Chains A and B, each alone.
Chain A
Amino acid sequence: MRLSAVVGLGTVFLATLAMAQGGKDQRRSGYQDMSPALQRMQDDDTANPAMLYVQAGEALWKQKAGASNKACVDCHDAGSMKGVAARYPAIPSGADKPVDLEGRINLCRTGQQKAAPFDAESEELLDLAAYVARQSRGMPIAPADDPRLASFRAHGEQLFKERQGQLNLSCANCHDDNAGKKLGGATIPQAHPTGYPIYRLEWQALGSLKRRLRNCLIGLRAEPYDYSSPEYVDLELYLMDRARGMTIDAPAVRP
């Protein structure tokens, strides 16, 4: 625990150093690996299909729900979610385990609104996540400064480096060791979670980081973790730390 905290600090230092040295940072987001046409689609709010979900999310933000008959906006001003998506996953007050952004939204839903939680990957949950994430667009990824996260993040790193599935590959085999090369027709990205939720052309829909990770696991012929399982949160903690300082481009478009 202690050691991972120190390692975590080391990462912060290295990332800062890399940025200070300018140009030495070899990290690339999925956005930078996309064609100029797709980049334009993402940048233009009238062409980015994810913006429809952001609009629906804005409407939901104002809509009263649940037994307490409150809307999100009754507790949080419009626009008050700036920086939140750049910082998650985090440990909610009174809890001892981290939740991702969708998990946090559902905590407000059940705890504050006294309503049933949204299902994983449901349209409503994605709409709200897109609306919240959009407010961090352009901000640097800045993981929560909480030493209790270190052991969860270390578990995420272990999962990232562990071979699994019938094809016996780790995430690192592709995203650390072979990023930039072609897997069939696809350029392997470095797997930085800068843009979630994303509108993926292959899905013809908005999807969460979990859905993206499930796709990779299924590709490895590994048993995908359950949507509710902590492995995704731990992986996301590691990915966010690995992408520390990179720019949020949510809600992004991906091929």
Chain B
Amino acid sequence: MRHAFVLAALLALSSVAASAQDSLRSYVIVGDAIPDSLTGTPGDVARGRAIVANRSVGLCLLCHRAPIPEERFQGDLAPDLAGTGARWSEGQLRLRLVDASRLNSDTIMPPYYRLDRLQRVAGNFAGKPILTASQIEDVVAYLASLK
């Protein structure tokens, strides 16, 4: 299992070199996680919460519920984010955000930090990941705090 993931990671890293992924920071997948911070520094819980709450930045509440009571109209297409920090490690959360399709190829969870294998991206978003590396770290810190 773990071998397969490491192999997949190596393949990904080698194919990444020649693609649009270039402008993203590289990362290493171990098992079902990205253990190391994308930025080398820990994220900020309050900033992460604000990103998750914001419907045009994180977009998370379109699909998920989260313990953010002031935000009404939370979606129900996806698991409740309450308690995610108790269920998953930071590294596991990081991979789920960066590219959830590595764990479930049919997932509807958008790839928040991936640029390849996308079609017809609107001009104003082309070549940019949904969240930046430091935003990913902020959201990871917030999710990890949900215990």
Interface of A with B (CB < 8 Å)? 162-169, 173, 177-178, 181-185, 218, 221-224
Name the distance in Å between B135's Cβ and chain A's nearest Cβ. Answer: 14
Instruction: A169-B108, A218-B122 are known; give 19 further A-B pairs, CB within 8 A.
Output: A164-B121, A165-B118, A165-B120, A166-B130, A167-B59, A167-B130, A168-B110, A169-B110, A178-B108, A182-B73, A182-B75, A184-B74, A184-B75, A185-B72, A185-B73, A221-B121, A223-B120, A223-B121, A223-B122
Bound Cα distance from A166 to B59, whole angstroms: 12
Checking B55, B61, B125 against A166 with a beta-carbon cut-off of 8 angstroms, the contacting residue is: B125
B69 at the binding interface (Cβ < 8 Å) = no
B110 contacts which chain A residues (CB < 8 A)?
Answer: 166-169
Q: Which residue of B lies closest to A219 (CB)?
A: B62
B120 touches A184 (CB 8 A): no
Q: Which residue of A lies closest to B118 (CB)?
A: A168
A164 touches B125 (CB 8 A): no
B8 at the binding interface (Cβ < 8 Å) = no
**A-B CB contact pairs (8 Å), 7 listed:** A165-B125, A166-B121, A177-B108, A184-B73, A185-B72, A218-B122, A224-B122
B40 at the binding interface (Cβ < 8 Å) = no
Given A168-B111, A169-B110; A162-B119 close (CB under 8 Å) = yes
Checking A166, A181, A218, A223 against B77 with a beta-carbon cut-off of 8 angstroms, the contacting residue is: A181
For the complex of A and B, 4 pairs with smallest distance between CB atoms: A185-B73, A167-B110, A166-B125, A164-B120
**Chain B at the A interface: mostly helix, strand, loop or mixed?**
loop
Bound Cα distance from A207 to B119, whole angstroms: 27
Q: Which residue of B lies closest to A167 (CB)?
A: B110
B59 contacts which chain A residues (CB < 8 A)?
Answer: 167
Bound Cα distance from A169 to B62, whole angstroms: 13
Checking A164, A173, A183, A185 against B119 with a beta-carbon cut-off of 8 angstroms, the contacting residue is: A164
Name the distance in Å between B73's Cβ and chain A's nearest Cβ. Answer: 3
A183 touches B120 (CB 8 A): no
Given A169-B110, A178-B108; A222-B74 close (CB under 8 Å) = no
Question: Which residues 1-60 in B have Cβ within 8 Å of A in the complex?
Answer: 55, 59
A182 contacts which chain B residues (CB < 8 A)?
Answer: 73-77
Bound Cα distance from A178 to B77, whole angstroms: 7
B146 at the binding interface (Cβ < 8 Å) = no
A184 touches B55 (CB 8 A): yes
A221 contacts which chain B residues (CB < 8 A)?
Answer: 121-122, 125
Q: Which residue of A lies closest to B108 (CB)?
A: A173
B63 at the binding interface (Cβ < 8 Å) = yes
Name the distance in Å between A135's Cβ and chain B's nearest Cβ. Answer: 36
Bound Cα distance from A49 to B64, whole angstroms: 34
Bound Cα distance from A223 to B121, whole angstroms: 6
Q: Which residue of B lies closest to A180 (CB)?
A: B76
Bound Cα distance from A224 to B125, whole angstroms: 13
Encode B92-119 as 1/0 by CB contact (under 8 A) with A. Answer: 0000000001000000101100000111
Name the distance in Å between A35's Cβ and chain B's nearest Cβ. Answer: 15
Name the distance in Å between B88's Cβ and chain A's nearest Cβ. Answer: 22
B73 touches A163 (CB 8 A): no
Name the distance in Å between B59's Cβ and chain A's nearest Cβ. Answer: 7
Q: Which of A166, A177, A222, A224 has the most CB of B within 10 A?
A: A166
Bound Cα distance from A164 to B126, whole angstroms: 12
